[in-house]
């Protein structure tokens, strides 16, 4: 899994590459930038798929039997990795309703 700084570095490559494509580069330079963007997106995509497995397991209810402390640790890991809480809200509500 990529660290936060690695992800940020790859995101910056993509962002700067997209901006530079609008700058009227030569064909060779555009192709080089496109390859750089594609490589960065590929590495980010692989990492997202790994992260999404844990999220998919959460949504499927595989963690519903966990003790509250463990469940919260899993939620924290997922929220940190995907940098969002929106996808984890429904499984969390289901867990609370089932264990309350």
- What token pair was written down for 80? 């940190």
Whether 74 shows a pLDDT value over 70: the answer reads yes
Domain tally, the chain: 1
Most confident of 15-24, 61-70, 88-97: 61-70
Helices (H), the chain: 4-21, 27-60, 68-82, 89-99
Confidence band, pLDDT 50/70/90 cuts, at residue 47? low
The domain in which residue 28 lies consists of 4-99
> 11 vs 32, 42, 61, 74, CA distance in Å?
17, 11, 31, 25
Give residue 67's pLDDT.
Answer: 93
Confidence band, pLDDT 50/70/90 cuts, at residue 70? very high
Find out whether 98 and 65 touch, Cβ atoms under 8 Å: no
């Amino acid at each position: 899994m990529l660290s936060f700084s690695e992800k940020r570095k790859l995101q910056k490559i993509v962002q700067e590459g997209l901006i530079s494509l609008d700058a009227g580069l030569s064909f060779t330079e555009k192709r080089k930038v496109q390859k750089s963007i594609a490589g960065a997106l590929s590495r980010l995509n692989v990492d997202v798929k790994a992260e999404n497995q844990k999220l998919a397991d959460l949504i499927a209810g595989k963690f519903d039997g966990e003790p509250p402390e463990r469940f919260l640790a899993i939620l924290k890991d997922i929220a940190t990795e995907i940098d969002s809480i929106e996808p984890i809200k429904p499984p969390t509500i289901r867990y609370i309703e089932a264990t309350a």
